[in-house]
Structure 1
Amino acid sequence: MADPQGFAVLTDDQCVGIAEMDSTHDEFLVLYAQARDADKASFATCLKALHDHTRDHFAFEEKLMNESGFPATSEHTSEHQRVLGELARFLERAQAGSQIMARAWLQQQVPEWFRSHLLSMDSALAAHLKKSEDPQYVRLRV
């Protein structure tokens, strides 16, 4: 599903080949678009849904990293903490009625961050999981 502003719902070249990760990334993009396009009355609610999804999304990836012995866990987790912290700060402002900065961040920063994070950090995690012969990771492959 194409996004009118060029931020696609997950193109084939953005799929990492781990079903649950790809599904979670798809959900992230849907929630992102809902928040980005929300009217003033629903913006904070949509941003909260994006925040909660992102928190759970990151926790799932961090569980995979920790359990599988992913060598770049520290760097990946630090990036998650940074982005989730930014999202939480913008959510707090939006809930207080200040939406301008949150909307600018969503439109200007999130798309490039997502692409970069997906194609570097998440792709590296997926490649690590695909190399594993552990049945719990083999079952995750697409």
Structure 2
Amino acid sequence: MTAATDLSPALAAQAQALQLNYAPIDDLHQAFFEHLAAFEGLPEGVSWLAPLQALRTHLAEHFEAENEMMTQFGPEAFGCHKTEHTNVLKVVDEVLRRVAMGEWQIGKNLVQELPVWFEHHVQTMDNVLAHSMKESINQEDCRGASCAA
């Protein structure tokens, strides 16, 4: 994994811009950008399979961690968010299958498009999750105490 300081200026700027001020989610997002950094400057002819598999493993763990956060709000909460996670993993699995057959260009396409999807996903779905988690924590802190409304 690449150290946070090893991110390209473009990835570092995007990672910074997508901070949600909720450390558990922000840490997952930082790790996502560190995985993307593994593809920067990757020459043609070099196998994309191993870094794509590492990215897929990260995404599965990342999405599972977020899905676990969502469970505290009930089984129906965040259904669209969870479905989006599932669909992204399906796409990555298909890309991995095709890269394993020698279609490395589709892996490159995924790595170029994933940050575009990710930015929208963070600004919408993850932003709501982070806000909900912070609100939940604030409510827990106020139990039995006199919290101002």
Cα distance change on mapping 1:19 and 1:41 into 2, 3 Å: same
* Displacement of 1:70: 8.2
Runs of 4+ in 1 over 6 A off after TM superposition: none
Q: Tell whether the 8 Å contact from 1:68 to 1:129 is kept in structure 2 after alignment.
A: no
1:66 Cα deviation from its structure 2 partner = 1.1
Cα root mean square deviation, aligned: 2.1
Listed one character per residue, the Cα deviations across residues 85-130 of structure 1 (whole Å, up to 9, x for unaligned) are: 11111111112221111212211x2121011001110010000011
User: Residues of 1 paired with 2:102 and 2:52: CA distance?
Assistant: 12
Which string of whole-angstrom CA distances, capped at 9 and with x for unpartnered residues, describes residues 8-48 of structure 1?
A: 3611x311122121111001011012135434334110000
Q: Residue 27 of structure 2 aligns with which residue?
A: 23
Query: Which structure ranks higher in relative contact order (CA pairs < 8 Å, sequence separation ≥ 6)?
Result: 1
Identity %: 28
- Provide TM-score, normalisation by structure 2: 0.78
Q: For residues 130 and 69 of structure 1, what CA distance do their matches in structure 2 show? A: 16
Corresponding residue SS for 1:106: helix
- Among 64, 77, 85, the alignment partner of 1:80 is 85
1:53-82 CA distance string (max 9 Å, x none): 000100110011012338641100111111
Compare CA radii of gyration and give the structure with the larger one: 2
Aligned residues: 132
* 5+ residue gaps, structure 2: 142-149
